[in-house]
């Protein structure tokens, strides 16, 4: 599905060159669910933009869905984006002044007009938001906006769905609902590549790729035992925080309840 060889992306910044990607080799098969993690500035978004055909590499080879996208013109990249790719961003990137339905219609410019609205409605229904079709993003919660963005990303039935920190702006519960949709889409056979900095999100994938300074420094399959351990650890660390808070509260209440005997003693 995705094959990258010695992928480089450099940005000229005045006199210096930023090596956003510094020789990435990568292979992702059809049907995989891959998480990419790494510190801020490590090149995750740059890699996603190249795979998403939103930008072109400075050098190296990039093949997606059997096509050599690293050699494509802007027009060909746009066609690739429309035919087999869906992209979900952290900040939703919706058009604010228009309805959810109109937002989902955006990628359907090349589709026959007669089928456009029905297809867009189906995608909105898929993320549980058909009843909000006429609402604008400003009338919706963050989680709902992200679901509209997912509907827009899947409206062309892509084989590959890319998501760059899709739960980064959402609370845990809403983030879990978004992850649930990704799991359902993955179960239907869509290849998913998702960037996150939350380990309990990353372990929901089948494979975790770690980036540092524009390079892949680790690439491992997630096994079920590891997944469960991290999810348990994540929970127990929360539990510890809550236990500490509860203990502090109990102590404060206790002091409040018995101020006089203590003062007298």
| Residue 90 in contact with Mg ion, rule: CB under 5 A | no
Interacting span for ligand ADP (CB under 6 A) from 12-20, 65-73, 185-193, 219-227:
12-20
Q: Binding ligand ADP by CB under 6 A: which of 3, 23, 41, 215?
A: 41
> What's the distance, Cα to Cα, between the start and end of the chain in Å?
75
Is the separation of the CB atoms in 32 and 207 below 8 Å?
A: yes
Q: How far is the CB of 219 from ligand ADP (least distance, A)?
A: 16
Partner that binds at residue 103, options Mg ion, ligand ADP, none, CB closer than 5 to 8 Å by kind? none
DSSP string, 11-78: EEETTEEEEEEEEEEEEE-TT-EEEEEE-TTSSHHHHHHHHTTSS--SEEEEEETTEEGGG--HHHHH
State which residue, 45 or 204, has the beta carbon closest to Mg ion. Answer: 45
Q: Binding Mg ion by CB under 5 A: which of 45, 146, 191, 196?
A: 45
H helix or E strand, kind and range, residue 126: helix 113-126
| Residue 44 in contact with ligand ADP, rule: CB under 6 A | yes
Give the whole-angstrom CA distance, residue 166 versus residue 94. Answer: 13
Partner that binds at residue 43, options ligand ADP, Mg ion, none, CB closer than 5 to 8 Å by kind? ligand ADP
| Residue 18 in contact with ligand ADP, rule: CB under 6 A | yes
CA proximity to 154, closest of 114, 186, 177: 186
**Alpha carbons within 13 A on the beta-carbon side of 151:** 31
State which residue, 103 or 196, has the beta carbon closest to Mg ion. Answer: 196
Strands 191-195 and 207-212: unpaired
Is the separation of the CB atoms in 177 and 16 below 8 Å?
A: no
| Residue 40 in contact with ligand ADP, rule: CB under 6 A | yes
| Residue 167 in contact with Mg ion, rule: CB under 5 A | no
Partner that binds at residue 264, options ligand ADP, Mg ion, none, CB closer than 5 to 8 Å by kind? none
| Residue 23 in contact with ligand ADP, rule: CB under 6 A | no
State which residue, 22 or 144, has the beta carbon closest to ligand ADP. Answer: 22
Binding site residues, ligand ADP, CB under 6 A? 11, 13, 18, 20, 38, 40-46
């Amino acid at each position: 599905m995705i094959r990258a060889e010695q992928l480089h992306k450099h940005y000229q910044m005045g006199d210096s060159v930023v090596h956003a990607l510094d020789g990435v080799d990568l292979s992702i098969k059809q049907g995989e669910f891959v998480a990419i993690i790494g510190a801020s500035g490590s090149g995750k978004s740059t890699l996603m933009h190249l795979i998403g055909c939103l930008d072109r590499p400075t050098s190296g080879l990039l093949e997606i869905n059997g096509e050599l996208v690293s050699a494509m013109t802007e027009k060909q990249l746009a066609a690739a984006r429309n035919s087999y790719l869906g992209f979900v961003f952290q900040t939703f990137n919706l058009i604010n002044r228009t309805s959810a339905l109109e937002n989902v219609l955006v990628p359907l410019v090349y589709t026959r007009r007669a089928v456009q609205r029905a297809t867009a409605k189906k995608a909105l229904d898929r993320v549980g938001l058909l009843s909000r079709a006429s609402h604008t993003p400003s009338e919706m919660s963050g989680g709902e906006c992200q679901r509209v963005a997912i509907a827009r990303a899947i409206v062309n039935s892509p084989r590959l769905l890319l998501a760059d920190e899709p739960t980064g702006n959402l609370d845990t519960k809403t983030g879990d609902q978004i992850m649930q949709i990704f799991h359902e889409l993955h179960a239907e056979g869509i290849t998913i590549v998702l960037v996150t900095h939350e380990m309990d999100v990353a372990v929901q994938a089948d494979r975790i790729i770690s980036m540092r300074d524009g390079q892949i420094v680790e690439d491992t399959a997630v096994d079920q035992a590891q997944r469960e351990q991290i999810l348990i650890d994540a929970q127990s660390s929360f539990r510890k925080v809550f236990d500490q808070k509860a203990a502090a509260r109990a102590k404060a209440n206790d002091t409040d309840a018995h101020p006089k005997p203590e003062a007298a003693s």
